[in-house]
């Protein structure tokens, strides 16, 4: 596990968090219980804070970063992720706020200051531009994203199902000899 301090701040992990040995987690990062960080993920809290809720899955090759405070953005933007969030392979989340029960599709990009309300699906390859808000209960796709349609009840129930499925898989990985 590559957990690194930066300027005296060490990431903190909740109970039963799985971080693949090939992932890098550094700086001001807090990860909630039962969350899984899969191979080749980079989570860099080196110039602002990153908070990840419980029962999340950050899939292979994703990059999670922040927007630093400076003359063009005095407060910067932390990266805040709620609970029961599944982030697909190779997604990029940068200085945004993501609510609970979200599915971020593979290769999606969510930019600085964007706000994703709870219960949202962002399609694979989509781009959420800086400062955009995606309201609860809808599917969004495209570059830039557009609201496509309301989510069905079945799709809404999928959020906690898939989060629970990754909690089970994470627990299996934690049982392996190499896991720390």
CA 110, chain centre distance (Å): 10
Cβ proximity of 114 and 96 under 8 Å? yes
Examine residue 18 and state whether it is found in any structural domain, yes or no. yes
Examine residue 102 and state whether it is found in any structural domain, yes or no. yes
Residue 177 pLDDT class (50, 70, 90 cuts) = confident
Residue with the larger pLDDT of the pair 1 and 67 = 67
Examine residue 170 and state whether it is found in any structural domain, yes or no. yes
Examine residue 101 and state whether it is found in any structural domain, yes or no. yes
- Please write the tens of the pLDDT for every residue from 88-110: 999 999 999 999 999 999 999 99
Residue 179, pLDDT > 80, answer no
Tell whether pTM > 0.75.
yes
Residue 134, pLDDT > 80, answer yes
Residue 154, pLDDT > 80, answer yes
CA 72 vs CA 37, 68, 75, 79: distances in Å? 32, 10, 9, 18
CA 137 vs CA 57, 103, 134, 158: distances in Å? 20, 12, 9, 13
Q: Where do we find the tokens 């799709």?
A: 155
Tokens of 179: 């896991």
Examine residue 179 and state whether it is found in any structural domain, yes or no. no
Examine residue 180 and state whether it is found in any structural domain, yes or no. no
Cα separation of 104 and 47, whole Å? 24
The whole-number pLDDT of residue 40 equals 98
CATH code of the domain covering residue 159: 2.160.10.10
3-state secondary structure labels for all residues of the chain: CEEECECCECCEECCCCEECCCCEEEEEEEECCCCEECCCCEEEEEEEEEEECCCCEECCCCEEECECCECCECCCECEEECCCCEECCCCEEECCEECCCEEECCCCEECCCCEECCCEEECCCCEECCCCEECCCEEEECCCCEEEEECCHHHHHHHHHHHHHHHHHHHHHHCCCCCC
Residue 2, pLDDT > 60, answer yes
- How many domains does one find in the chain? 1
User: What is the span of the domain harbouring residue 23?
Assistant: 2-174
């Amino acid at each position: 596990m590559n957990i690194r301090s930066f300027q005296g701040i060490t990431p903190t992990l909740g109970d039963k968090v799985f971080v693949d040995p090939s992932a890098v987690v550094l700086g001001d990062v807090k990860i909630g219980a039962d969350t899984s960080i899969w191979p080749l993920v980079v989570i860099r809290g080196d110039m602002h804070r990153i908070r990840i809720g419980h029962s999340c899955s950050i899939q292979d090759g994703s990059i999670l970063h922040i927007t630093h405070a400076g003359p063009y953005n005095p407060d910067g933007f932390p990266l805040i992720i709620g609970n029961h969030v599944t982030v697909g392979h190779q997604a990029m989340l940068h200085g945004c706020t993501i609510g609970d029960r979200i599915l971020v599709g593979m290769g999606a990009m969510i930019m600085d200051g964007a706000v994703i309300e709870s219960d949202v699906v962002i399609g694979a390859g989509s781009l959420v531009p800086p400062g955009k808000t995606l309201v609860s209960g809808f599917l969004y796709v495209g570059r830039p994203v557009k609201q496509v349609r309301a989510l069905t009840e079945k799709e809404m129930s999928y959020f906690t199902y898939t989060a629970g499925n990754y909690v089970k898989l994470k627990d299996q990985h934690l049982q392996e000899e190499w896991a720390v």
